[in-house]
Amino acid sequence: MAYTPSPARYSAMEYRRCGTSGLKLPALSLGLWHNFGHVDVLENSRQILHDAFDAGVTHFDLANNYGPPPGSAEENFGKILHEDFRNHRDELIISTKAGYRMWEGPYGEWGSRKYLISSLDQSLKRMNLDYVDIFYSHRPDPDTPLEETMGALDSIVRQGKALYVGISNYETAEAKRAIEILKELGTPCLIHQPKYSMFVRWVEESLLDLLEDKGVGCIPFSPLAQGLLTNKYLKGIPVNSRAAKPHGFLQEEDITEQRIQQIQKLNNLAQERGQSLAQMALAWLLKDPRVTSVLIGASTPAQLADSLKCMQNTQFSTDELAQIETILQTK
């Protein structure tokens, strides 16, 4: 049965201007880092995308290496896009990135002009697209001049392969230089994608102020700290969780007794607000007007629906914010 989007899809979502650009993004965007590879069930991925768009999520965020295996998230997304969203391409913001290892040899990762342009060409083929809306430098390259990396992003826009460009995982000083180089080239930096959550707050030291000053948007990834800011770890480390896997991004040593106590206290406050811990953690990021959108992941339609409910309460009282700070600063 053909997919027909909900006619009410734009009624409940909030859209925020990305920096000083003309582009607005939904307050919540869907990241395809996990759960959209060839190891996953395609129909589950399809349903998540349907439900997200029905809820007004217009931004789908990918990267060349998302899967597993690398490239498969783009392939699966491209398949679903052309089967189900073909008539809605102009309603969507599709982004991808290059920077991490994608193929063998010296040109398969980092930030050279050779790698970035070749990678985007491959991504466009995988998704069967003429262009993406946003293309990112996924991480800074310590051995390539920043002028070359940013020059490649400028070329990509001028070639019509991307409408906008952004940076991800750049610390404040690197981000400042990248933004200034792009401005000089005439292709403004649209957006920065940093890791940011209640438990990872380095962006508050200077990055958010920089982005506001330069008119650049901000879209945090890992807003739930790899699942720590959910009810999954309230009683410790469950079997089959990310922390229980030996080579995951979340390690068992990250789950200290102090961290579990923080999670439990935050969960109690979330319940007082009528939210799940995950919903409160997402709302906490959205309270800052400098945050354009927050990237959420979902392994099931139910998990997506739970995250979307955060939009029902994104306001915090002064007392609630003080309680959160007290919990987070407890050693």
- Taking the domains of the chain in order of start, what are their residue ranges? 22-193
What average pLDDT does range 16-42 have in this prediction?
A: 98
Residue 246 has pLDDT above 60, yes or no: no
Q: Which long-range contacts (CB under 8 A, 24 or more apart) does 43-46 make?
A: 44/300, 44/301, 45/76, 45/80, 46/80, 46/84
- What is 22-193's CATH superfamily? NADP-dependent oxidoreductase domain (3.20.20.100)
| pLDDT at residue 121, as a whole number | 98
> CA-based diameter of the chain, in Å?
54
* Nearest residue to 96 (alpha-carbon basis) of 170, 165, 28: 165
Residue 84 and residue 186: Cα distance in Å, rounded?
36
Place of tokens 């945050």: 291
| Cross-strand partners of 173 | none
pTM for this prediction:
0.94
In the structure encoding, which two tokens stand for residue 89, read together? 């391409």
| pLDDT at residue 330, as a whole number | 87
Residue 296 and residue 278: Cα distance in Å, rounded?
10
| pLDDT at residue 137, as a whole number | 98
What average pLDDT does range 101-112 have in this prediction?
A: 98
Rg of the chain over CA atoms, in angstroms?
A: 19
Residue 249 has pLDDT above 60, yes or no: no
Residue 247 has pLDDT above 70, yes or no: no
Measured CA distances, 307 to 72, 78, 301, 316 (Å): 25, 24, 10, 17
Place of tokens 């739970």: 306
Share of the chain above pLDDT 90, in %: 90
| pLDDT at residue 244, as a whole number | 47
Residue 184 and residue 126: Cα distance in Å, rounded?
32
SS3 of residue 114 by DSSP: helix
pLDDT in tens, 142-201: 999 999 999 999 999 999 999 999 999 999 999 999 999 999 999 999 999 999 999 999
pLDDT in tens, 34-63: 999 999 999 999 999 999 999 999 999 999
| Beta-sheet strand order (sheet of 132-137) | 217-218, 189-193, 162-168, 132-137, 93-98, 59-61, 28-31, 294-296
Place of tokens 């811990």: 277
What average pLDDT does range 242-263 have in this prediction?
A: 69
Which of the four pLDDT bands, split at 50, 70 and 90, describes residue 236? low
What average pLDDT does range 266-295 have in this prediction?
A: 98
Share of the chain above pLDDT 70, in %: 94
